[in-house]
Structure 1
Amino acid sequence: MSTLEAPLWKEAVKSEIESILQNHNWELVDLPPGCILLGYKWIFKRKMKADGSIDKYKARLVVKGYKQKEGVDYFDTYSPVTRITSIRMLIAIAALYNLEIHQMDVKTAFLNGELDEEIYMEQPEGFIVPGKEKKVCRLVKSLYGLKQAPKQWHEKFDNAMMSNEFRINECDKCVYIKNTISGYVIVCLYVDDMLIMGSNNDIIKATKRMLNSKFELERFRCCRCDT
């Protein structure tokens, strides 16, 4: 990490902690006797633009989930991932019917998953709350690095879609379809990236508003496939 980049990395760390605190991912408590206290680490990454220049500096707080015990700290970890054939099929449909494709990312997607298990983590160095130095973080929502984080995120997204009258595709559990009087809309989720296409712009905009009310979205892009 170069000296010139240090302020940018510090700002990235601050932004990550702010996102976690705003999302209420943990609460400070005393560590119960016999419970495992997980550590953490920081992952730093430069996100690049297509031309090779730096787009942004990204810092991610990651729990050392490899210390979790199955049956205690986590149970099921399975999370579906959309098939590449599904993405190709949807792009082909968009080209055939001249549909716009909207693409967006969910910022810090894994932070949205609710946790049922009791998991405890050290307070991050540099952000220890004064007067509560001996407290630990009891995770209320997922953090990156937890074994169940992908599963909990997908369940959260599933519930959001189904509560807004979307149906899950029988062949791909990451493809969601909604039919209304005014038209149809299709959403394809790939981890934290989404493709949205529909029969008209109004239903696409309504879907984006709904998603933006539940998750923090970023990097909106739009394109149209020409046949």
Structure 2
Amino acid sequence: MPEAPPSARLPETGFWLSGVLSLVLVGACLAAYLQGGGSLEAVRFIGRWTIRVAVVLFSLAFMAAALASLLPGRTTKWLLENHRNIMVAFSVAFALHLCAIARFFSLDQGLFWSVSPVFLIVLRGIGVAFIVLTLFASLGGGRRERWTWLTALGYYYVCGAFLAGFAKRIPQDHFYIAPVALLSLALVVNLLSVVKQRNMRASQRSIGSSDHE
């Protein structure tokens, strides 16, 4: 296949992409906090905003390899090559979300516990552990192959947790249909990629068996 001319390629990016995204996220949260005078409403707004941004970044990272497999092209290749940057930016967004939750707790513990039962906190804690694991695997480069099955489990767990959290809020606000649709798309794309890979392996085994007959 001929190589695409430079003008047709998407620009390559280094860690500056995750750096810029992280600075924008931190700056936006700081601006919202200061503009709101550090109020509970400002903190809860930051919590909602950061988790929505985090879901978009997570979905892109989750779909990167699957899209590159199903729809090879310049855009999907760029997305796969920048998977690490997207994961870093997602982790920053989620860390800011956790900071907002911690501040929410310090401002109004009664309200916090009314909307955050213990079992939900435990499930979130497991999700945080998986996020740390997937980030570690992304930054580990060549070492991540040893963690493939565990990181895959982490991605599916976090996707499921996000789906459950947003889906239950749809009756209160139809906005949540958008992140649920995005997460569902990410899940379907990954499952289709898994099916494609299994079919390819089965086909290769079949060809190998035929060659030995």
TM-score when scaled to structure 2? Answer: 0.29
Query: Which protein has the bigger strand share?
Result: 1
TM-score, with normalisation over the residues of structure 1?
0.27
- Higher share of residues assigned helix: 2
